[in-house]
Chains A and B, each alone.
Chain A
Amino acid sequence: MNDEASGSTPILQMRDIRKAYGPVRVLEDVNLELSTGEVRCLAGENGSGKSTLIKILSGVVSADAGQVSLNGRQLGNDPMGAITAGLSVIYQDFSLFPNLSVWENIGFLTSVTSADVLHKRSARRRLAIDTLKRMQVEIDPDTPVELLPVASKQLVAIARALANRARIIVMDEPTTALTRSEVAHLLEIVGALKKEGVSFLFVSHKIEEVFAVCDTVTVLRDGSVVVEGPIGEFDTERLVEAMTGRSVDSQRLPREEGAVQRPFLAASGLGRRGNFVDVDLELRPGEIVSVVGLLGSGRTELAQTLFGYMKPDAGRIEIDGETVTFKSQHDAIERGIAYVPEDRLTEGLFLNQSIRDNITVSSLEKSTHFGIVSAASLLQRARDAVKNLRIKTPDVTPAVATLSGGNQQRVVLARWMEIDPRLLILNGPTVGVDVGSKREIHELLVSLSRSGTAVMVVTDDIAEAIALSDRILVMVRGRITAGFDAATVDEDTLYNEVIREDRT
Chain B
Amino acid sequence: MNALARIFATPQGIVFLVAVLFAVVLGLLNPAFFTPSTLIDLARNGLVTGIFAMGVMMVLASGGIDVSHTAIGAFAMYATMKIVLGIDLDLPIIAYFVIAAAIGAGLGLVNGLLIGGLGLNTLIVTLGTLSFFRGALLTFLGTTYITSVPREVINFSRTILIRIENAVGQMVSLPASFLVLVAVTIALAIIMNFTLFGRKVYAIGGSEEAAQRIGIRIKRVKVLIYVIAGAIAGLAGMTHVTLSRMANPFDLVGMELNVIAAVVLGGARITGGHGTVLGTLLGVFVITMINTTLLMAGVPSYWQKFVIGCLIIVGTGLPIVFDRLAKHRQRMARPLEA
Chain A residues packing against B (C-beta within 8 Å) = 60, 79-80, 83, 89, 91, 93-100, 104, 108-109, 111-113, 116-119, 121, 160, 271, 273-277, 298, 313-314, 477-479
Our pick among B199, B214, B335 for the contact of A104 (Cβ within 8 Å) is B199
Residue of B nearest to A114 (CB): B196
Our pick among B197, B207, B336 for the contact of A97 (Cβ within 8 Å) is B207
Known contacts A79-B215, A119-B196; decide if A97 and B337 are in contact (CB<8 Å). no
Known contacts A79-B215, A95-B214, A99-B273; decide if A479 and B195 are in contact (CB<8 Å). no
Our pick among A60, A94, A98, A273 for the contact of B336 (Cβ within 8 Å) is A273
Contacts A100-B206, A274-B338 aside, 17 further interface pairs with beta carbons under 8 A come to A89-B213, A91-B213, A93-B209, A94-B210, A97-B203, A98-B206, A98-B273, A108-B199, A111-B199, A112-B196, A112-B214, A117-B195, A118-B195, A274-B331, A277-B337, A298-B338, A314-B336
Our pick among A83, A99, A271 for the contact of B206 (Cβ within 8 Å) is A99
Q: Are B196 and A80 in contact (CB under 8 A)?
A: no
B168 within 8 A of A: no
Q: Are A100 and B338 in contact (CB under 8 A)?
A: no
Q: Are B336 and A109 in contact (CB under 8 A)?
A: no
Known contacts A83-B214, A118-B194, A119-B198; decide if A95 and B209 are in contact (CB<8 Å). yes
B131 within 8 A of A: no
> C-beta contact mask, B198-230 vs A, less than 8 Å → 1, else 0?
110011011101111111100000000000000
Known contacts A89-B213, A91-B213, A97-B210; decide if A276 and B338 are in contact (CB<8 Å). yes
CA distance A121 to B203 in the complex (A): 15
Known contacts A97-B273, A118-B196, A119-B195; decide if A108 and B203 are in contact (CB<8 Å). yes
Sample of 8 A–B contacts (CB below 8 Å): A93-B209, A99-B274, A108-B199, A112-B215, A119-B194, A121-B194, A273-B336, A274-B331
Residue of A nearest to B273 (CB): A99
User: Which residues of chain B in 111-157 are interfacial with respect to chain A, using CB atoms and an 8 Å cutoff?
Assistant: none
Contacts of B89 in A (CB 8 A): none
CA distance A464 to B273 in the complex (A): 40
Min CB distance B304 to A, Å, is: 32
CA distance A276 to B331 in the complex (A): 12
Residue of A nearest to B338 (CB): A478
Q: Are B196 and A111 in contact (CB under 8 A)?
A: yes
> C-beta contact mask, B255-290 vs A, less than 8 Å → 1, else 0?
000000000000000001110000000000000000
Contacts of A275 in B (CB 8 A): 338
Q: Are B193 and A119 in contact (CB under 8 A)?
A: yes
User: Which residues of chain B in 13-27 are interfacial with respect to chain A, using CB atoms and an 8 Å cutoff?
Assistant: none
CA distance A30 to B269 in the complex (A): 46
Residue of B nearest to A314 (CB): B336
Residue of B nearest to A476 (CB): B338
Min CB distance A268 to B, Å, is: 15
Contacts of B272 in A (CB 8 A): 99
Chain B residues packing against A (C-beta within 8 Å) = 193-199, 202-203, 205-207, 209-216, 272-274, 331-332, 334-338
Our pick among A83, A96, A97, A111 for the contact of B202 (Cβ within 8 Å) is A97
CA distance A158 to B212 in the complex (A): 17
Q: Which 5 residue pairs are nearest across A and B when measured between Cβ atoms?
A: A478-B338, A99-B273, A97-B206, A95-B210, A99-B206
Q: Are B195 and A96 in contact (CB under 8 A)?
A: no
CA distance A111 to B200 in the complex (A): 10
CA distance A274 to B334 in the complex (A): 7
Our pick among B212, B214, B332, B336 for the contact of A108 (Cβ within 8 Å) is B214
Contacts of A273 in B (CB 8 A): 331-332, 334-337
Contacts of B335 in A (CB 8 A): 273
CA distance A116 to B199 in the complex (A): 11
Known contacts A277-B337, A313-B336; decide if A96 and B207 are in contact (CB<8 Å). yes
Our pick among B331, B336, B338 for the contact of A479 (Cβ within 8 Å) is B338
CA distance A479 to B337 in the complex (A): 9
Known contacts A100-B202, A108-B203; decide if A277 and B209 are in contact (CB<8 Å). no
Min CB distance B128 to A, Å, is: 24
Contacts of A298 in B (CB 8 A): 338
Known contacts A100-B202, A100-B203, A478-B338; decide if A95 and B213 are in contact (CB<8 Å). yes
CA distance A80 to B214 in the complex (A): 8
Q: Are A109 and B196 in contact (CB under 8 A)?
A: no
CA distance A91 to B212 in the complex (A): 12
Our pick among B193, B195, B202 for the contact of A99 (Cβ within 8 Å) is B202
Q: Specify which of A118, A121, A277, A477 lies most central, judged by the most chain B CB atoms within 10 Å of its CB.
A: A118
Contacts of B334 in A (CB 8 A): 273-274
Min CB distance B188 to A, Å, is: 14
Min CB distance A482 to B, Å, is: 15
Contacts of B206 in A (CB 8 A): 97-100
Residue of A nearest to B335 (CB): A273
Residue of B nearest to A479 (CB): B338
CA distance A108 to B213 in the complex (A): 12
Our pick among A83, A99, A277, A477 for the contact of B215 (Cβ within 8 Å) is A83
Q: Specify which of A93, A95, A104 lies most central, judged by the most chain B CB atoms within 10 Å of its CB.
A: A95
CA distance A78 to B111 in the complex (A): 27
Our pick among B196, B210, B336 for the contact of A96 (Cβ within 8 Å) is B210
CA distance A60 to B199 in the complex (A): 23
Min CB distance A292 to B, Å, is: 16
Our pick among A113, A119, A277 for the contact of B199 (Cβ within 8 Å) is A119
Min CB distance A194 to B, Å, is: 23
Contacts of B205 in A (CB 8 A): 99
Q: Specify which of B206, B213, B272, B335 lies most central, judged by the most chain A CB atoms within 10 Å of its CB.
A: B213
Contacts of B196 in A (CB 8 A): 111-112, 116-119
Residue of A nearest to B274 (CB): A99
Known contacts A104-B199, A119-B198; decide if A97 and B211 are in contact (CB<8 Å). yes
